[in-house]
Amino acid sequence: MKPDSFTHSQWYAIGRIGDFEGANAKPVRLLSQDLTVNNSAGVLSVADAEGRSLQSQIRYGHLWTTLSDNPRPLYDMPEFDEPDRRLVTAGGVGVRCSGLRCVENFLDMAHFPFVHTDILGVEDHSTVENYDVSMDADKDEIWATKCKFFQPLASAAATGGQMTEYKYRVPHPYSTILYKTCPIRENVWDLVGLFIQPVEEDECIVHSFILVFDEDNTDTGLLHFQQNIFLQDRMILENQVPRKLPLDPRWELPTRADASSIAYRRWLKANELQWGIALFDKAA
Amino acid sequence: MVTRRVSLEGALSTESCLAMISHFARRLSLTSTITSASPRSISIMLTGDERVIDMFEIACWLGPDDVTVDTITVEIV
The answer to whether residue B62 scores a pLDDT higher than 90 is no
Confidence grade of residue A222 (pLDDT, cut at 50, 70, 90) = confident
- Say if the Cβ atoms of B62 and A253 lie within 8 Å: no
CATH class of B2-76: alpha beta
Question: What pLDDT does residue A167 have?
Answer: 95
Write the pLDDT tens digit of every residue in A267-279. 999 999 999 999 8
A262 to A200, A255, B6, B62: CA distances (angstroms): 23, 9, 18, 6
Most B CBs within 10 A among A255, A261, A268, hence the mutation to make, goes to A255
CA–CA separation, B49 vs B77, rounded Å? 14
Burial of B24: CB neighbours in 10 Å, binned 0-12, 13-18, 19+: buried
Q: Where are the domains of chain B?
A: 2-76
Say if CB A36 and CB A28 are below 8 A apart: yes
- DSSP class of residue B20? H
Does the pLDDT of residue A157 top 90, yes or no?
Answer: no
Residue A60 pLDDT exceeds 90: yes
A271: nearest CA partner in chain B:
B68
Average pLDDT over residues A98-112: 92
- Say yes or no to pLDDT of A1 above 80: yes
Q: What is the pLDDT of residue A253?
A: 83
- Cβ–Cβ of A262/B23 closer than 8 Å? no
Q: Where are the alpha helices (DSSP H) in A142-258?
A: 219-237
Cβ contact B55–A258 (<8 Å): no
Per-residue pLDDT, averaged over A160-173, amounts to 89
Name the closest residue on chain B to residue A258, using Cα atoms: B58
Determine the average pLDDT of the residues in A95-100: 98
CATH architecture of A5-65: Single Sheet (2.20)
Q: What is the pLDDT of residue B35?
A: 96
Band of pLDDT at residue A281, cut at 50, 70 and 90: low
Is the model's pLDDT at A84 over the cut of 70?
yes
CA of A256: which chain B residue's CA is closest? B58
Looking at chain A, the domain(s) classified CATH 2.20.25.680 span 5-65
The chain-wide mean pLDDT, for chain B, equals 93
pLDDT in tens, A195-221: 999 999 999 999 999 999 988 889 998
> Is the pLDDT score of A109 beyond 90?
no
Whether A283 shows a pLDDT value over 50: the answer reads no
Q: What is the mean pLDDT of chain A?
A: 91
Residue type, A25: A
**Nearest CA-CA partner of A60 in A82, A42, A84, A35:** A82
User: Dihedrals φ, ψ of B3, to 5°?
Assistant: -120, 135
How far is A129 from B49, CA to CA, in rounded Å?
Answer: 19
Percentage of residues of chain A with pLDDT beyond 90: 65
What is d(CA A39, CA A239) in angstroms, rounded to the nearest whole number?
37
Residue A28 has pLDDT above 70, yes or no: yes
Of B54, B62, B68, the CB nearest to A249: B62
Question: In which residue ranges of chain A is CATH 3.90.380.10 found?
Answer: 81-278
Contact criterion met (CB below 8 Å) for B10 and B71:
yes
- The number of angstroms, rounded, from the C-alpha of A242 to the middle of its chain's C-alpha atoms is 19
Listed residue (A214, A103, A120, A228) closest to A168, CA to CA: A103
Stretch A36-41: mean pLDDT? 94
Name chain B contacts of A269, Cβ cutoff 8 Å.
62, 65, 68
Question: Under CATH, what is the fold of the domain A81-278?
Answer: Naphthalene 1,2-dioxygenase Alpha Subunit; Chain A, domain 1 (3.90.380)
Q: Please tell me whether the peptide bond between A73 and the residue prior to it is cis, using omega within 30 degrees of 0.
A: no
Using beta carbons and an 8 Å cutoff, which residues of B are at the interface with A? 20, 23-24, 27-28, 54-55, 58-65, 68
State the helix-helix crossing angle for A259-270 and B50-62, rounded to 10 degrees: 20
CB contact (8 A) between residue A262 and residue B58: yes
ipTM of the prediction: 0.85
- Residue in A closest to B26 by C-alpha: A250
